[in-house]
Structure 1
Amino acid sequence: MNAVEIEEAVTKLAEKPFDAAEFPYQFLAAFGNKDTTIKRLRAGSTNASDLPGGVLQRSNIHIAVAPPGKVTQTLSALRISPATTKAKARFILATDGDGFEAEELESGETVACAYADFPNHFGFFLSLAGITTVKQVRESSFDIRATSRLNRLYVELLKDNPAWASAERRHDMNHFMARLIFCFFAEDTDIFGKIGLFTETVERMSDRDSSNTHEVIGTLFRALNTKGPDREAAGIPRWAARADQFPYVNGGLFSGNMEVPRFSRIARSYLLHIGNLDWTKINPDIFGSMIQAVADEEERGALGMHYTSVPNILKVLNPLFLDDLRECLAEAGDNARTLLNLRKRMSRIRVFDPACGSGNFLVIAYKEMRLIEAEINKRRGEPDRSSEIPLTNFRGIELRDFPAEVARLALIIAEFQCDVLYRGKQLALNEFLPLSKENWITCGNSLRLDWLSICPPTGTGVKLVADDLLETPLDQAQIDFENEGGETYICGNPPYKGNADQTKDQKEDIRKCFLGTNLNWKSLDYICGWFWKAAQYSSFTVTKFAFVSTNSISQGQNISYFWKPLFEYGLRIDFAVRSFRWRNLATENATVTVVIIGCSRSKDGVCYLFDENIKQEVLQINAYLVPGKDVFVERSARPLSNLPQMVKGNYYGLSDGLLLDETARAELLDDGLSQEHIRTFKGGAEIVRGTQRWCLWFPQPNIPTDAWSNPKVRQRIELVKESRLASPDLAAIRMAERPHQFREMHACNEWTIAIPNVSSESRPYLPVTLESRDVVFPNTAFALYDTELACLAIAASRLHLVWTITVCGKLETRIRYSNTLGWNTLPVPALTDKNKADLTRCAEDILLAREAHFPATIADLYDPDNMPADLREAHERNDEVLERIYIGRRFRNDTERLEKLFELYTKMTASPRATAKKKRAGAA
């Protein structure tokens, strides 16, 4: 369940008559517990409570229904309960159906309210459903509750007005919802003449059967779009005509199509419920991104998962420009002239998000800049001064019309809230209406539009320039935008799409974006288009830009294909935030690993690298987001270090007849086939999960007589021959000449060290295995045959994992291993005999620790949350031994590991020996 679904379930529970016996189970069900889990708790098999009538779910919550008036005492009993401690409960909760109290035991945070009001605090309990919360949501659940109710209304209206769901009418429907949101906000913040006036008027003037609800709302909308003196002539009735109650709003929000969808009784009821929420609590930096899901059929299934936390957004905006503004404010002190210059500078700063969604980045940037401006005004003795930071300086492009509209609305709300906060409510109200007609959020395809026309460098109006295959974006005003000498900062969180996941239209976006360049655009992530457009923009005016991206953009083939041309184009990386989990208001498995990269054409000044909350000043950041000069790791046919050759496993395409499951293997052995002709077949899946397959194995040029005489073996080999002859591939047809063999027949004499070609990024180490001579490896794994055991210690190290992730890249979110990149380029210092002996012992310790947990699989053993302590210790010792060979101690973090590895790689590839190796590889 997502947050919105939980809110709905909790609200329904609070509206039911209180049932003391059922409440604990109903509460747990509302937070997503399955029927089977509830059933076991009812039966007592998993209920660990030691209190009468209590329900304790281990590692979760201890609930007790209190006698009337004894809620506080019951909560105390839950707190001191031995069962609460033993079962590691995170929450305790007591209620008598009148009062409601709860506590999060680790933090000590509490909730105390009337029972009917506990849904207002449902965000306090979201971690019960495995949902990662952030402080802003825990403190106020309003935005989720409002989104939930708006979603119900939206769905109900579309059910009653199916024509409004069509592509032709969807914009009208979305515009109607934006108008409603504004009215709900305006009636609770004194923008209208009385608290709750809009909702009260709809309830009073519309019939209970809802037959005229649409007419009442339409009349109010017309009033808000008509100046007071003109209302009588416009035929607006007296109950809607008073300008001191329903003032003239305009600004484009209430212009255009004034039609309102028809309301059923249920829809009218939803509308009144929404209006009765306290809209003074709206948080535009949360609400906008959530409400956009209401209007998107595909996204509605993930409703409530669209919140981007403010701390994450500030990881982009702070180093991009906000930190600099704050430093200037600190340096200015109380110097009136310096403060004035800073204020003038800020008034000309433009923030441009070319993938703005519902405006999160723009809203946060605006609010942070208003905070700085308010401090300037305070120090200058001008606290009531109007803001000189215009909303039109916060530009955006968004593909879909409703998020674009919500982005503009969110900025309008943010401006009003800032005015109330810094200048007082009366001044804010005096200047709020009418709204400006200017539309500074453009609806269109960002990769097909000319960004200079959306956010021009100096004093020119907005003149849209779009790809001629696209329609002109909707309702974009010509904004007179004098901004000589201003700064432009481009930021955002563009869509994540690997080259294999892009739609046909998205591939065309990328193609057009890179038209006329030599870049290998077919291999690029979709987000590369935004970096390239920003780079082009920066060639016309001084600007800095920073985007959030999946970390794949700083790994693997993207480095040579994309970053190398970008650097040649004159860019540098000013700052970067290395890989971290971008957590939204979603279940934990919905998070994504991202990086933040900030660029400009600046050649001076230090760069900043952020890693695990550590800020490091460096002279240069390369494309791998490591301190140091530009370096581009290229495939190598042979190891650059003194490592043995690693090869890909045996290609087994069109060889199904040679593969055996348990049943086929047993039948062949029962028929007398010698065990020497059957070997274990271990690809990546078998290595990791411990599943078993076998294969027929005939290394000789001719099939042994005893095997060929077996009818089942002969039949299998004939099937292989037939499938290869039927292939259109000439190489496969040639392979029909030896149908008893795979294309390669690599095998060891003693043992093989193998690595799957794809593995999970969540594991702390690569799943390296050591196997005996009776195991054959297909091409879903890489193999080192008959090498020193010290190689296993190197392959299973943290160093090797970090290098692999960085230079090999990923397949979706999984590590994609490559021998020519991950192994052959790995910089390893010359090893002494003692080094090798120490590493061999480490490898043996790792293998012995695994053996101690037999029959646990690699997947079991390397589960990051359940890795056995002795195995983890063996790996830690191995890492320490290996890393001491590099720098005489353990590395502090992965950044330091990579910094050293790239330093060694640069030296290795510059040496005459490396050059000679490359030449030999080319000759080969």
Structure 2
Amino acid sequence: MTDVEQREAARQFVNKWNNRGSEEEDARSYWLDFLGNVMGITHPTDYINFEKKVVVDGNTKKIDAYIPATKVLIEQKSLGIGLDKKLHNSGGIELTPYEQAKRYNDNLPYEEKARWIIISNFAEIWVYDMNVQVPKPNKIMLVELQGKYPMLDFIVKKEVKQLSHEMEISLKAGDIVGLLYTAFMKQYKNPENPETLKSLNVLCVRLVFCLYAEDAGIFGRRNMFHDYLANYDTHHLRNALIDLFKVLDQRVEDRDPYLIPELAEFPYVNGGLFANENIEIPMFTDEIRELILVKASEEFDWSAISPTIFGAVFESTLNPETRRTGGMHYTSIENIHKVIDPLFLDELKKELDEIKENTVIKTRVKLLKDYQDKLSSLKFLDPAAGSGNFLTETYISIRRLENEVIRTLQSGQMMIGEAVNPIKVSISQFYGIEINDFAVTVAKTALWIAESQMMKETENIMLINLDFLPLKTNANIVEANALRIDWNDVIPAEELNYIMGNPPFVGYSMQNENQKADILSIYVDEKGKPYKTAGKIDYVSAWYFKASKYIENTDVSIAFVSTNSITQGEQVASVWGPLYERFNIHINFAYRTFIWDSEANLKAHVHCVIIGFGTNNDRVEKKIFTNDSIKIVSEINPYLIEAPTIFVKSIPKPLCNVPKMTTGNRPADGGHLIIEAEDYESFIEKEPNAVKYIKKLTGAAEYINNRDRYCLWLVGADPAELHKMPEIMKRIELCREDRLNGAQDRQQLADTPTLFRETKNPLTYIIMPLTSSENRRYIPLGFLNGDIIPTNSAAIIPDAGIYEFGVLTSNVHMAWTRVVCGRLKSDYRYSKDIVYNNFPWPEPSDEQKRKIEQTAQGILDARKLYPNSSLADLYDPLLMPAELRKAHTENDRAVMKAYGFDIKLSEADCVAKLMKMYQKLVGKQK
């Protein structure tokens, strides 16, 4: 089959199977039709096996379909069955369609195990690549199949190794842009000049548009751009390109009537892309000519790139250092949909499905037309637009809904007598603000490409040709600092419907002076004064504040991607307090912490949350997304749990009557009072009398990993004795010099160079590591004595007992910690002022307290059974000994009972109850 024939076959397949499909009645016909007519298999009945038998737990099951040649396993469901929903299976268990398919696959003989798993409900096809460590679905909607059928080549081709056709070619396109960028950069006389770099950016964008336009048929015929440039040798190529750019920006009636035919045949583009004739274009080289004519044109087809992915990849031609300091991070299509689906797309899809189910034709037609008008009236803003990923993917998603309306109307022949061009949705509905000039240009170009591709889908539905050029619409993307301009100047808030995006990820300690100034100019009270904590919040917070203020008294809904730190620790009160108090915002949905990845080669791994919010609290359902689960809740607080909106603020002492926690000792010695394990023997050999002044030193890492470290503990040391020990004296002098060369507060310590900055050495204490891996269910805390000096990477509770240990190591305290503590990336960052001092302790009976002491001792006893294992080993989720796990479970139950909690209470519900207890405790303090 030719590409044209296959594309037409895919179109016919879509029309035939749109809005129909029963698992029992139609599964065979669906896949035989697809294999035979779309994929070109001559005898499809010989190619695919239906109801292949497999034995699961002693019972014979039947796989819906299996293709032996390419090892593809298919699990088919009926139309309307959610592919992410758990369904009741035999044996009384509930599984998603993928889990059901994987269960079958796990029980196949090794040589028959599936390389690919497909699950489908006729309207959607989800593909899992079983060669990756954690298979995730690559989703294809039936209505997209005409453009995406190459993504299913693996069904008939054994050699297919990569699933996403769009992703693959988009990444290759980015590589080509990078080569062009580098080659041109070498030709500029002053490549460091900012104006030169702007010219280079514009030049690359124009070339990409031309390459795409000739492959997509926008210019009129394929290879038009290539053939024009091929007429010129390297020396004359620069002038030829300048002439072409000028022509592309001229209306046909305004052109020189004596233009050469090769130029005259190019259409007028419009849109401002070619408007600036003063950009600096350097001389070409043979390398550049070869790159454009061969690698970028002859060897590569630009027509199928994903504008959403490519926008981000294109932006990667920027200097990586600039990208890092600007806080920009690339966004995968999957992650974009985590934002836009619950914000508006799920509701729009549901509304369309309900309209299509209306059986009264006249009513359905009216509802469809009204719905299309609604789509064309919606307006979207991304105030940190970057390369336009969110705007582009949103435009594509809205246009696909519109195309489904057009398809439904067309299938009933309901468009007779209407305008030739049925498209009403326009990229002029999409607004953006972006500080980087190159990103602005890329974003506009990505939207133009998306517009072209979606118009092609409409043409395939209508069987008509539509004119893409000259560009009639323009994305309203403004080059500006979003924190310094009035968003109403971009689009008045009352005209807007949705705001979305992922503002820059810059922690407060990493902000440059301009970014700090931005924050302080935004986070101000009613009198215009910066909030006291404005200097200690992440940069992304400014977008939350500005957006909340902007949408006051409107129904605009917002969803932002953010670093998870704004939902943890001290930042929660600092960031969210003003938003709730000043603007009465409400959180409508939230994705709890996950890793935010991109489609670019240099992936940005960032621990993120997604928060949907607004001032309108009338949403039908509030949702919390955790991993792959969704929970419908009544309320979401800024810690992203179902609990009252409470801000846990830093306080200097515990709310409850419990022993005080303090931090360990900061050496502040430049390392000179510390003796590392590898230096210990040689030091003692040189200074044997120093043994009496040496103690073990421990912090979070040393304690958890059982590492030896030592220090000179010279509290109360006899000066006369110290004078007799030259090795100690040498270290004391180095400590003094280090302190003298430090900051002013450190210089004051130079008067006591024999001592740590603090000298806490209690006889016994509980040690609490301040940082610990998120993979551990329990932070490994424990008891130490005065022979071991704690550093400030741990907190200590002097003279605490076994009861305190039992409560603090329980799942109740750990649940509280996981919610309110700060994070270092995703690891726990414990805080005495936030976590410990605010923790609501139980009020146990004497019997309950004795039980906790008993179960706490059981934990310590279980640890002793493994003397050669570190706490890191013992608390590894995969290696935790059964005795220790059982001891913790018994302790958890004892503590839960002391609180009066049901032992089956979920962690989220447990924290919600603790929040209410905290609220009462704070009330009593006032």
Q: Give the 3 Å change call, closer, same or farther, for CA 295–588 of structure 1 in structure 2.
A: closer
1:585 maps to which residue?
A: 599
Contact 1:690 1:857 in 2 (8 A): yes
- What is the distance in 2 between the residues matched to 1:157 and 1:828? 66
Q: Give the match's secondary structure for 1:211.
A: helix
> Using the alignment, how far apart are the partners of 1:703 and 1:827 within structure 2?
45
Alignment correspondent of 1:359? 388
Q: 1:544-693 residue pairs with structure 2 within 5 A?
A: 544-570=557-583, 571-585=585-599, 590-606=604-620, 607-641=622-656, 643-654=658-669, 658-662=673-677, 663=679, 667=683, 673=689, 675-693=691-709
Distance 1:401 1:903, change over 3 A: same
Structure 2 residue matching 1:556: 3-state secondary structure: coil
Which one-letter code corresponds to 1:784 in the other structure? Answer: I
Other structure's SS at 2:467 match: helix
Q: In the alignment, which residue of structure 1 is the partner of 2:277?
A: 257
2:179 is the counterpart of 1:152: yes
Deviation at 1:805, TM superposition (A): 4.3
CA distance in 2, matches of 1:437, 1:598: 29
Distance change (3 Å), C-alpha of 1:699 and 1:253: closer
Q: Deviations over 1:3-47 (max 9, x none)?
A: xxxxxxxxxxxxxxxxxxxxxxxxxxxxxxxxxxxxxxxxxxxxx
Alignment of 1:227-376 (within 5 A): 227-233=251-257, 235-242=258-265, 246-257=266-277, 260-271=281-292, 272-276=294-298, 277-296=300-319, 298=321, 307-332=330-355, 333-334=357-358, 335=363, 336-376=365-405
- Measured at CA, do residues 728 and 391 of structure 1 come closer, stay the same or move farther in structure 2, by a change above 3 Å? closer
Of residues 317-326 and 486-495 in structure 1, the stretch that sits farther from structure 2 once superposed is 317-326
> Relative to structure 2, which stretch is displaced further, 620-629 or 714-723?
714-723
How far does the alpha carbon of each residue in 1:217-240 deviate from its partner, in whole angstroms, 9 at most, with x for none?
33333332233344443x421222
Q: 1:846 to 1:249 in 2, by over 3 A?
A: same
Which residue matches 1:543? 556
Q: Supply the distance in 1 between the matched residues of 2:476 and 2:130 (Cα, whole angstroms).
A: 45
Q: Cα 1:278–1:645, aligned 2, differ >3 Å: closer, same or farther?
A: same
Give the Å deviation of 1:393: 0.9
Of the structure 1 ranges 528-537 and 770-779, higher mean CA displacement relative to structure 2 is found in 770-779
Distance 2:136 2:249 in 1: 50
Residues 437, 868 of structure 1: CA spacing in aligned structure 2 closer, same or farther, 3 A cutoff?
A: same
Compute the displacement of 1:907 (Å).
2.7
1:40 paired residue number: none
Determine the structure 1 residue equivalent to 2:26.
Answer: none
Structure 2 letter corresponding to 1:322: L
Which of 380, 387, 393 pairs up with 2:429?
393
Contact 1:641/1:829 (8 A) holds in 2 = no
Contact 1:627 1:899 (C-alpha < 8 Å) held by counterparts: yes
CA distance in 2, matches of 1:450, 1:534: 11
Aligned residue among 189, 195, 206 for 2:232: 206
Q: Is the 1:392–1:440 Cα contact (8 Å) retained in structure 2? A: yes
Q: Secondary structure at the match of 1:424?
A: helix
Q: Is the 8 A contact 2:587 2:637 kept in 1?
A: yes
Aligned mates of 1:687, 1:906 — CA distance in 2: 34
Alpha-carbon distance between aligned partners in 1 of 2:384 and 2:405, rounded to the nearest angstrom: 31
Q: Secondary structure at the match of 2:607?
A: strand
1:496 and 1:525 in contact (8 A); partners too: yes
Alpha carbons of structure 1 residues 191 and 900: separation in structure 2 relative to 1, 3 Å: same
Q: Secondary structure at the match of 1:573?
A: strand
Verify the 8 A CA contact 1:551 1:595 in the aligned structure 2: yes
- Aligned residue identity for 1:818: S
Report how far residue 137 of structure 1 moved. 3.7
Native 8 Å contact 1:309 1:584 kept in 2: yes
Provide the residue aligned with 1:222 in structure 2.
Answer: 246
What SS does the corresponding residue of 1:324 show, helix, strand or coil?
helix
Counterpart residue identity of residue 428, structure 2: T
Over 3 Å counting, the alpha-carbon distance change for 1:776 and 1:226 in structure 2 is: same
**Distance in 2 (alpha carbons) for counterparts of 1:642 and 1:668:** 45
1:498 aligns with 2:529: no
Q: Give the match's secondary structure for 1:771.
A: strand
Q: Describe the superposition over 1:634-684 as per-residue Cα deviations: whole angstroms up to 9, x where unpaired.
A: 233333345432222234335966443454676558756375543211123
Unaligned runs of 5+ in 1: 1-71, 76-84, 93-101, 111-119, 125-133, 459-485, 916-924
More divergent stretch after superposition (687-696 vs 705-714):
705-714
Please say if residues 434 and 478 of structure 2, whose CA atoms lie closer than 8 Å, have aligned partners that are also in contact: yes
Residues 1:872 and 1:170: Cα distance change in structure 2 (over 3 Å) = farther
Structure 1, residues 830-884: CA drift from partner, whole Å, max 9, x if none? 2345544554455455545555555554455555676667656655555455445
Q: What is the Cα deviation at residue 491 of structure 1?
A: 0.6
TM-score (ref. length: structure 2): 0.74
Deviations 1:148-184 (A, max 9, x none): 1221122112123344553112222221221222222
> Which amino acid in the other structure matches residue 645 of structure 1?
K
Distance 2:644 2:604 in 1: 35
C-alpha contact 1:218 1:258 (8 A) present in aligned 2: no
d(CA) in 2 for partners of 1:421, 1:510: 44
Q: Structure 2: any 5+ residue segments left out of the alignment?
A: 1-68, 73-108, 117-128, 139-149, 155-160
Paired residue for 2:445, among 378, 395, 409? 409
C-alpha deviation, 1:817, in angstroms: 2.1
Tell me the number of residue pairs that the alignment of Structure 1 and Structure 2 aligns.
Answer: 770
Seen in structure 2, the aligned counterparts of structure 1 residues 655 and 139 have a Cα distance that, compared at 3 Å, is closer
Structure 1: distance between partners of 2:338 and 2:329: 18
- Cα deviation code 1:420-461 (max 9, x no counterpart): 213438877533110137451111211111110011246xxx
Contact 1:289 1:358 in 2 (8 A): yes
Shift of 1:363: 1.3
The 3 A distance-change label for structure 1 pair 232 and 634 is closer
Deviations 1:313-365, CA, capped at 9 Å, x for gaps: 12211222222323333444433444333333322211100111111111121
Q: 1:284 to 1:728 in 2, by over 3 A?
A: closer
Name the aligned partner's letter for residue 184 of structure 1: L
Q: Distance in 2 between matches of 1:356 and 1:230?
A: 35
Percent of pairs with identical residues: 32
CA distance in 2, matches of 1:797, 1:619: 27
Contact kept in structure 2, 1:651 and 1:744, CA below 8 Å: yes
Q: 1:426 to 1:236 in 2, by over 3 A?
A: farther
Q: State the distance in 1 between where 2:888 and 2:837 align.
A: 22
TM-score of the pair, normalised by structure 1: 0.74
CA distance in 1, matches of 2:523, 2:810: 39
- Preserved CA contact (<8 Å) 1:793 1:840: yes
In structure 2, the residue matched to 1:189 is: 216
| Range moving further from structure 2, 156-165 or 819-828 | 156-165
Query: Displacement, 1:309?
Result: 2.2
- Partners of 1:327 and 1:706 in 2: CA distance: 83
Any conservation in 1 of the 2:644–2:912 contact (CA below 8 Å)?
A: no
Render the CA deviation track for 1:774-795: whole Å, top value 9, x for unaligned. 1111323211233223433443
Aligned alpha-carbon RMSD (Å): 4.2
Offset, 1:705: 7.3
Distance 1:559 1:782 in 2: 22
Report the residue type matching 1:339 in the other structure: L
Per the alignment, do residues 642 and 258 of structure 1 end up closer, same or farther by CA in structure 2, a change over 3 Å counting?
A: same
What corresponds to 2:547 in structure 1? Answer: 534
Specify which of 783, 807, 812 is matched with residue 796 of structure 2. 783
Cα displacement (A) at 1:530 = 0.7
Give the alignment partner of residue 433 of structure 1, picking from 466, 469, 474.
469
Q: CA deviation at 1:195?
A: 2.1
Secondary structure at 1:495's aligned position in 2? Answer: coil
